[in-house]
């Protein structure tokens, strides 16, 4: 009986199909267990790429220096660390029209300035004797210096162009007052001579008009004594303001 | 997790034992296939080293028996298969072999288990007591009962 039982069980085997199916199932299980690690690695790699992409995008598209271009169209070019224009902002309606008519994004700042100066809107005004002011402001002094020199170089042929350097603090104050930097600097000069002048008063004026106003006020201040000059040039300045704007 | 080489070796080495244990408990090819895979999947994930081949074999027997018991516990009432359907699992056997197998499988489950492990795998009663976690006297009694049942049907003397 023992022998019979041993013999019977000895004849029973796990079929090849059963073994092969099981080996395949083991392989699948092995791969399934491993895959989460693979997913994790892929997810991590994607995240790194995404962050690098976002970082790179920010790095490239964050302006480091601003060029304020004022004649009466007032606009501001944001220039990144590679001296490329990455943002264009208009500060008045004329400026918006000009911005809409030109494609300045991603141009080298010098090429952008050349296109602006050559644009009909600005060229006509320059020809008519208006003043173009280009003001450079940014945290990186080396870049500001480089951009100022570049701006001077590419507008060297123009008589009525003035290039200045400003600073970031002034830029923020200008934006707070609703003016572009170039105009704000002129406004500060004007306000020093006539404290009653407000930012709104100069917003609609051309740079030439503001400069002339400053000129007339300082002339008054020079030609007359401080004591009795106050009332007079205040009056004149108001006359000018309402006459021109 | 064990390597492909390890698991393939285990399938070859212990496949027959697992299959036979499944058969004496399950009587159904689909369940046998399920448990067969379950046991080797557990082995795939079982990282602790075995002290010896014997230790490893005992692990396979215990895991297979537990897996079978789990399955029976949940499916027994719905999935009992008449003995006649067993032929599908025992195609390899001759006429006489089939009769012997049918006799063994007709025993109560506890007896089937010890008959296989004692007669075929060669475990002694004290070894079975450790392997199955039962009192050694219980094993002796179960074995004696199984022998009596088998003798009734198969006749002849046993030497166990």
| Both tokens assigned to A49 | 């790429």
Q: Which residues of B touch A11 (CB under 8 A)?
A: 92-94, 97
A98 and A11 within one domain: no
Q: Which residues of A touch B124 (CB under 8 A)?
A: none
User: A46-68: per-residue pLDDT in tens?
Assistant: 999 999 999 998 888 899 999 99
A81 and A43 within one domain: no
Give the per-residue pLDDT at A241.
40
Q: Residue A80 to residues A108, A137, A138, A160: CA-CA distances in angstroms?
A: 10, 12, 10, 27
- Average pLDDT on B31-48 reads 90
Q: Residue B82 to residues A179, A208, B75, B101, B102: CA-CA distances in angstroms?
A: 95, 109, 14, 14, 11
A68 and A12 within one domain: no
A206 and A90 within one domain: yes
A106 and A43 within one domain: no
Question: Of A41, A60, A79, which residue is a domain's last?
Answer: A60
Fill in the DSSP letter of residue B116: I
Spatial distance between the Cα atoms of A66 and A244, rounded to a whole number of angstroms: 29
Quick check: A134 and A69 in contact, CB under 8 A? Answer: yes
B107-153 matches B1-93 in CATH topology: no
| Both tokens assigned to B37 | 């895979």
Say if B16 is an interface residue toward chain A (CB within 8 Å).
Answer: yes
Decide the pairing of beta strands A85-90 and A74-79.
antiparallel
pLDDT band at B90 (very low <50, low <70, confident <90, very high): low
Q: Which residues of B touch A12 (CB under 8 A)?
A: 16, 19-20, 23, 90, 92-93, 101
Residues shown for chain B: 160
- Average pLDDT on B130-151 reads 92
Cβ separation A9–B120 shorter than 8 A: yes
Closest approach of B52 to chain A, Cα-based (Å): 23
Question: Of A40, A60, A80, which residue is a domain's last?
Answer: A60
Say if B30 is an interface residue toward chain A (CB within 8 Å).
Answer: no
Say if B104 is an interface residue toward chain A (CB within 8 Å).
Answer: yes
Closest approach of A40 to chain B, Cα-based (Å): 19
Whether residue B75 has pLDDT greater than 80: no
Quick check: A155 and A117 in contact, CB under 8 A? Answer: yes
Q: State chain A's mean pLDDT as an integer.
A: 83
Please name the CATH architecture into which domain B1-93 falls.
Orthogonal Bundle (1.10)
Cβ separation A23–B8 shorter than 8 A: yes
A73 and A180 within one domain: yes
Mutate which of B14, B17, B40, B123 to test chain A, going by most A C-beta atoms within 10 A?
A: B40
Decide the pairing of beta strands A132-138 and A85-90.
unpaired
A67 and A21 within one domain: no
Task: Report CA A156 to chain centroid distance, whole Å.
Answer: 25
Domain boundary assignment for chain B: 1-93, 107-153
pLDDT band at A236 (very low <50, low <70, confident <90, very high): very low
Say if B115 is an interface residue toward chain A (CB within 8 Å).
Answer: yes
Please name the CATH architecture into which domain B107-153 falls.
Orthogonal Bundle (1.10)
- Closest chain A residue to B1 measured between Cα atoms? A30
Give the per-residue pLDDT at B143.
93
- Residues 6+ away with beta carbon under 8 Å from A152: A163
pLDDT band at A77 (very low <50, low <70, confident <90, very high): very high
Q: Which residues of B touch A25 (CB under 8 A)?
A: 37, 40-41
Cβ separation B93–A11 shorter than 8 A: yes
User: A141-160: per-residue pLDDT in tens?
Assistant: 889 999 889 888 888 878 88
Q: Residue A35 to residues A40, A44, B6, B42, B62: CA-CA distances in angstroms?
A: 8, 14, 20, 19, 30
Q: Which residues of A touch B37 (CB under 8 A)?
A: 21-22, 25-26
Closest approach of A28 to chain B, Cα-based (Å): 10
A91-97, long-range: CB < 8 A, 24+ apart: A91/A178, A91/A179, A91/A180, A91/A183, A92/A203, A92/A204, A94/A121, A95/A180, A97/A73, A97/A121
The dihedral over CA atoms of B37, B42, B46, B52, expressed in degrees to the nearest 10, equals: -60
User: A160-208: per-residue pLDDT in tens?
Assistant: 888 888 888 888 888 888 888 888 988 998 888 888 888 888 888 888 8
Give the per-residue pLDDT at B157.
54
Whether residue A37 has pLDDT greater than 60: yes
Give the per-residue pLDDT at A229.
43
Closest approach of A8 to chain B, Cα-based (Å): 5
What is the domain count for chain A? 2
State residue A132 phi and psi, 5-degree precision.
-105, 125
Q: State chain B's mean pLDDT as an integer.
A: 84
- Average pLDDT on B54-75 reads 88
Lowest mean pLDDT among A157-166, A178-187, B30-39, B137-146: A157-166
| Both tokens assigned to B96 | 């006489």
A66 and A55 within one domain: no
User: A87-146: per-residue pLDDT in tens?
Assistant: 999 888 888 888 888 888 889 999 998 888 888 888 888 888 888 889 999 888 889 999
A69 and A24 within one domain: no
Closest approach of A105 to chain B, Cα-based (Å): 57
Instruction: Please name every residue paired with A84 in a beta bridge, in sequence order, or none if there are none.
Output: A108
A124 and A43 within one domain: no
Widest CA span in chain A: 139
For chain B, how far is it from start to end, CA to CA, in angstroms? 40
* Domain limits for position A78: 62-244
Quick check: A187 and A204 in contact, CB under 8 A? Answer: no
Mutate which of A7, A10, A14, A36 to test chain B, going by most B C-beta atoms within 10 A?
A: A14
A103 and A55 within one domain: no
- Closest chain A residue to B24 measured between Cα atoms? A9
Spatial distance between the Cα atoms of A15 and B90, rounded to a whole number of angstroms: 11
A178 and A139 within one domain: yes
Whether residue A227 has pLDDT greater than 80: no
């Amino acid at each position: 009986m023992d022998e019979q039982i041993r013999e019977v069980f000895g004849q029973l085997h796990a079929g090849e199909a059963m073994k092969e199916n099981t080996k395949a199932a083991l392989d699948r299980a092995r791969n399934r267990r491993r895959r989460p690690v693979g997913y994790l690695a892929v997810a991590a790699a994607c995240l790194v790429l995404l962050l690098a992409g976002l970082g790179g995008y920010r790095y490239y598209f964050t302006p480091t220096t601003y060029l304020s271009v004022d004649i009466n169209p007032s606009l501001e070019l944001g220039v990144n660390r590679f001296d490329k224009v990455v943002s264009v902002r208009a500060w008045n309606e004329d400026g918006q029209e000009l911005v809409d008519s030109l494609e300045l994004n991603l141009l080298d700042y010098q090429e952008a300035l050349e296109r602006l100066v050559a644009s009909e809107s600005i060229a006509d005004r320059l020809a008519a004797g208006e003043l173009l002011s280009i003001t450079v402001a940014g945290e990186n002094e080396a870049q500001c210096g480089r951009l100022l020199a570049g701006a001077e170089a590419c507008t060297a042929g123009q008589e009525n162009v003035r290039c200045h350097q400003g600073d970031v603090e002034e830029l923020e104050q200008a934006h707070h007052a609703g003016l572009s930097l170039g105009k704000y600097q002129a406004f500060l000069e004007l306000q020093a001579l006539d404290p009653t002048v407000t930012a709104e008063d100069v917003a609609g004026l051309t740079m030439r008009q503001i400069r002339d106003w400053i000129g007339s006020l300082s002339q008054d201040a020079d030609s007359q004594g401080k004591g009795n000059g106050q009332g007079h040039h205040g009056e004149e300045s108001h006359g000018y303001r309402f006459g021109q704007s | 997790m064990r390597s492909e080489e390890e698991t393939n070796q285990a399938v070859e080495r212990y496949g027959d034992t697992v299959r036979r244990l499944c058969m004496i408990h399950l009587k159904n090819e689909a369940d046998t296939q399920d448990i067969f895979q379950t046991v080797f999947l557990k082995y795939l994930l079982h990282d602790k080293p075995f002290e010896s081949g014997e230790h490893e074999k005992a692990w396979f027997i215990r895991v297979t028996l537990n897996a079978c018991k789990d399955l029976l516990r949940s499916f027994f009432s719905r999935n009992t298969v008449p003995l006649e359907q067993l032929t599908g699992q025992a195609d390899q056997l001759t006429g006489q072999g089939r009769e012997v197998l049918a006799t063994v499988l007709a025993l109560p489950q506890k007896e089937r288990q010890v008959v296989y492990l004692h007669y075929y795998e060669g475990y002694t009663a004290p070894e079975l007591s450790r392997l199955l976690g039962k009192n050694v006297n219980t094993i002796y009694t179960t074995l004696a009962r199984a022998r009596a049942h088998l003798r009734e049907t198969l006749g002849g003397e046993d030497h166990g």
